[in-house]
């Protein structure tokens, strides 16, 4: 179903993605982080839907639909390193820093900060070209919010 998008993402020199594809890829990254600790709770799913709705000005129904598509894409996507590097090449920096903030929202949604989630966030931030300082500032904004 998402073969064309995955092919575009994993080409040697990916082009900037159209908005709709970028939304889907970034949403799939949110799902991947939420699933890292082996639990994909209703709280995390709800948080992802709310992030998507707010970020893309979608109705709750549209956000839930996009999250469902993102869950499917996440299952079909290559390993995290290739998937995240591909997103870096195809998505503007400003959107990537906002994604780190959204990823922290997902990690902190269940009130438990697992070591696996921290490790994945560090890896994803690095692969997206976001330094530790900016990632920590994003986490602090989420925790303060």
Asked if 122 contacts 134 with a C-beta cutoff of 8 angstroms, the reply is: no
Tell me the CA distances in angstroms from 42 to 49, 81, 110, 135, 145, one per residue in order.
10, 26, 9, 25, 21
Domains within the chain, CATH numbers bracketed: 18-144 (1.10.3680.10)
pLDDT of residue 17: 66
The answer, as to whether pTM is greater than 0.85, is no
User: Residue 50 pLDDT more than 60?
Assistant: yes
Write the DSSP symbol of residue 110. T
pLDDT of residue 10: 62
Identify the CA nearest to 138 among candidates 114, 115, 107. Answer: 107
CA–CA separation, 62 and 114 (whole Å):
30
Q: What are the two backbone dihedrals, phi and then psi, of residue 10, each rounded to the nearest 5 degrees? A: -100, 10
């Amino acid at each position: 179903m998402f073969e064309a998008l995955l092919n575009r993402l994993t080409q040697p020199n990916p082009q900037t993605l159209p908005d709709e594809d970028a939304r889907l890829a970034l949403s799939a990254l949110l799902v991947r982080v939420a699933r890292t600790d082996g639990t994909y709770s209703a709280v995390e799913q709800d948080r992802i839907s709310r992030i998507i709705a707010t970020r893309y000005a979608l109705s709750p129904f549209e956000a839930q639909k996009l999250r469902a598509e993102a869950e499917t894409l996440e299952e079909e996507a290559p390993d995290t390193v290739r998937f995240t590097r591909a997103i870096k090449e195809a998505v503007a920096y400003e959107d990537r820093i906002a994604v780190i903030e959204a990823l922290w929202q997902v990690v902190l949604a269940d009130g438990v900060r697992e070591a696996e989630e921290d490790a994945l966030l560090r890896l994803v931030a690095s692969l997206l070209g976001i330094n530790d300082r900016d990632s920590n500032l994003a986490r602090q904004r989420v925790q303060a919010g």
